[in-house]
Structure 1
């Protein structure tokens, strides 16, 4: 794979969800390679933490139309007339609970951030990306290929992002814009910890009947997530995969990040649903409370 290691600061890359984790690591890796990064964060304290040479924090909630509009205006009025090289749609949250017990308000919040927010930012920046023949990088997940128990809302949002990425890639190819999907597996980020807290909060509100059905499963899923995160690759290594894909002259349409993601994606492609169900069930059984 061919990559560029240094560039004049004549190109801008927008990274959403850059407060922590993969987003922050990707912003720093891009800055190191000579891009000017507009790093989307939600709080002033996060802006102060990410600010660095070649990294310009911008307040950006991907569910806020005014903040998305302000970002588009900032780019169109760039004082140095820099090229918009890429948009990296990384913002995301994880909400895990069985389909039966997850309130519809939480389903909507999951999709607002992980799917509709990505579409909104993409729509706002596409005119510039088309003009500059840039690249859209959508950070999906292995959960966009394989939906584990309790991951219905999260996987649903990522499956949707995978589908819209295919449509977008085919729409924009004649216009010279590339679309790349990144599918991370276990990565050491704060998002997993926040997802576990959310899962525990939702579990505590289940009825006694629901708790009898799902409490053990929820404990197993939380324990499994903690293990995957602990053994996962660093956010910095994940960022290198993303930036290498972005700077490749002929990028693939999809990249997995981590050994676990590569295995799951291949299994989903080559074995039957029933066989995959059995493998998933056996793995979860290892984490069930005694």
Structure 2
């Protein structure tokens, strides 16, 4: 989980736990459940983060702008603009292809990690001690 994405990460972990339980529960009926774990993808959310700051600011509601303040939003935007994970975001069609594979395959994988970031960055980081993972993620973000 990366800083600045608490609610997103929490919902993602909840869905992963649900899917793990569901896979085990459905085993008796021969039903398969796969989990798709992509890294950052070039979605409208990511594209909005890397827009020039004035465009980014106008894409936010007045309520968000007032609540967070321009100084924080500018700093956060600048950080996201330089974020290596954002810069290296993959084509979301890779996720679509993996979903198609999982649905069409008679023996789908339990986990799919489409794109470059998930298998090469996030998977290795997930097995490191937390203090090392924190240090690496701070540098990437």
Give me the TM-score of the superposition, normalised by structure 1.
0.40
1:259 pairs with 108, 116, 141, which one?
116
Does structure 2 conserve the Cα–Cα contact (< 8 Å) formed by 1:181 and 1:255? yes
1:155–1:240 CA distance, 2 compared to 1 (3 A)? same
Q: CA RMSD of the aligned region, Å?
A: 2.9
Distance of 1:233 and 1:176 partners within structure 2: 33
Distance of 1:265 and 1:175 partners within structure 2: 30
- Establish whether residue 247 from structure 1 lines up as the match of residue 109 from structure 2: no
1:266–1:160 CA distance, 2 compared to 1 (3 A)? same
Larger RCO (CA within 8 A; separation ≥ 6): 2
1:190–1:215 CA distance, 2 compared to 1 (3 A)? closer
Q: Which one has the bigger helix percentage?
A: 2
Q: 1:53-202, aligned counterparts within 5 Å?
A: 147-193=1-47, 201=61, 202=64
Larger deviation, residues 229-238 vs 169-178 = 229-238
- Establish whether residue 219 from structure 1 lines up as the match of residue 77 from structure 2: yes
Distance of 1:265 and 1:281 partners within structure 2: 16
* Pair member with larger Rg: 1
Name stretches of at least 5 consecutive residues in structure 1 with no aligned partner.
Answer: 1-146, 285-290
Structure 2 equivalent of residue 206 of structure 1: 68
Distance of 2:49 and 2:22 partners within structure 1: 29
Distance of 2:87 and 2:140 partners within structure 1: 17
Report how far residue 260 of structure 1 moved.
Answer: 0.8
Distance of 2:12 and 2:22 partners within structure 1: 15
Q: Which one has the bigger strand percentage?
A: 1
Does structure 2 conserve the Cα–Cα contact (< 8 Å) formed by 1:188 and 1:230? no
1:282–1:188 CA distance, 2 compared to 1 (3 A)? closer
Name stretches of at least 5 consecutive residues in structure 2 with no aligned partner.
Answer: 51-55
Does structure 2 conserve the Cα–Cα contact (< 8 Å) formed by 1:185 and 1:261? yes
Report how far residue 207 of structure 1 moved.
Answer: 5.5
Structure 1 equivalent of residue 53 of structure 2: none
Aligned residue pairs total 132
